[in-house]
């Protein structure tokens, strides 16, 4: 029982119809297709609502289930839509769009700070990356200027796919030390920023992103915190 991930082919889709495939023992809902991104890769699961003939239920988040299923988690205990019901799903779009802007911005941060990434988290208005960074950062305002310069270049953000064997032959594509791309499906999704001579980044990622860097808007670098002997956490915020 698997769920078609509509968010991968169209991250800007705010609503969609679907059919209920199952209810989980924990009170979750599995649809045949969904626009809700399931928590993973540092990006939170989406929230929103489901509507069907006779009911509405708020969704707090989405998580990955077994066998390719995506499980929608209600915000409170309510009557669930029955198996086989036709439902309408609608995203909390402002929150999702914030995740898309921040997630793409974190890819840019990994460009201006070209060090191995040891962790990260995406929020709707801020996010952070942890770096394997033995020495303190150079001037923060200079880095912030470089980050915003990449935003204002309005570079295209696109996806590509490679095989697992191709990734094994190009291990440098993986910037994250703590999280490896999911395997087992035979292919790996890549997110590319820029194209041809303007390309500045290419790395495996299963998250949702904006179509162009200009859509991110102005960014500021917030706290830079030391986390262990060699790790430093850099936080960015939407200005």
Give the pLDDT confidence of 66-123 residue by residue, as tens digits.
Answer: 999 999 999 998 899 999 999 999 999 999 999 999 999 999 999 999 999 999 999 9
Among 60, 91, 122, give the residue marking a domain's end: 91
- How confident is the model at residue 75, as a pLDDT? 96
If you average pLDDT over residues 202-208, what whole number do you get?
Answer: 93
Domain membership of residue 69 as a residue range? 4-91
Query: What confidence tier does 34 reach under pLDDT thresholds 50, 70, 90?
Result: very high
Are both 50 and 126 inside the same structural domain? no
Among 58, 76, 91, give the residue marking a domain's end: 91
Are both 43 and 10 inside the same structural domain? yes
Instruction: Give the list of residues 6+ apart from residue 21 with CB closer than 8 angstroms, or none.
Output: 1, 3, 30, 31, 32, 69, 83
- How confident is the model at residue 185, as a pLDDT? 62
Are both 35 and 118 inside the same structural domain? no
What is the rounded CA–CA span in Å between residue 166 and residue 120? 25
What is the rounded CA–CA span in Å between residue 216 and residue 235? 15
Pick 185 or 115 by higher pLDDT: 115
Query: What confidence tier does 178 reach under pLDDT thresholds 50, 70, 90?
Result: low
- How confident is the model at residue 196, as a pLDDT? 93
Residue 74 forms beta bridges with which residues? 59
Q: Could you tell me the two tokens for 165?
A: 């064997």
What is the rounded CA–CA span in Å between residue 141 and residue 231? 20
| Proportion of the chain above pLDDT 70, given as a percent | 96
Quick: pLDDT tens for 123-173.
Answer: 999 999 999 998 887 788 999 999 999 999 999 999 998 887 877 778 777
Pick 175 or 192 by higher pLDDT: 192
Q: What is the DSSP string of 194-232?
A: S-GGG--EEEE--S---SBGGGG--EEEEEEEE-SSSEE
Mean pLDDT value across the chain: 92
What is the rounded CA–CA span in Å between residue 145 and residue 135? 20
Contact 195, 213 (CB under 8 A): no
Among 59, 91, 123, give the residue marking a domain's end: 91
């Amino acid at each position: 029982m698997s769920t078609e991930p509509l968010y991968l082919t169209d991250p800007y889709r705010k609503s969609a119809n679907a059919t209920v495939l199952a209810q989980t023992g924990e009170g979750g809902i599995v649809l045949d297709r969904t626009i809700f991104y399931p928590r993973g890769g540092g990006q939170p699961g989406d929230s929103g609502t489901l509507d069907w003939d006779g009911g509405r239920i708020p969704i707090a988040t989405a998580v990955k289930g077994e066998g390719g299923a995506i499980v929608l988690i209600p915000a409170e205990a309510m009557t669930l839509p029955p198996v086989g019901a036709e439902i309408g799903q609608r995203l909390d779009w402002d929150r999702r769009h914030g995740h898309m802007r921040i997630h793409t911005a974190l890819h840019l941060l990994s460009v201006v700070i070209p060090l191995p990434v040891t962790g990260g988290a995406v929020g709707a208005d801020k996010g952070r990356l942890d770096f394997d960074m033995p020495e303190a950062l150079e001037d923060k305002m200079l880095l912030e200027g470089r980050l915003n310069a990449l935003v204002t270049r309005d570079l295209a953000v696109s996806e590509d796919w490679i095989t697992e064997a191709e990734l094994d032959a190009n291990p440098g594509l993986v910037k994250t030390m703590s999280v490896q791309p999911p395997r087992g499906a035979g292919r790996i999704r890549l997110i590319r920023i820029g194209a041809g001579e303007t390309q500045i980044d290419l790395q495996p990622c299963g998250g949702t992103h904006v179509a162009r860097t200009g859509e991110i808007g102005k960014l500021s670098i917030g706290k830079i915190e030391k986390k262990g002997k060699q790790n430093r956490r850099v936080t960015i915020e939407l200005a």
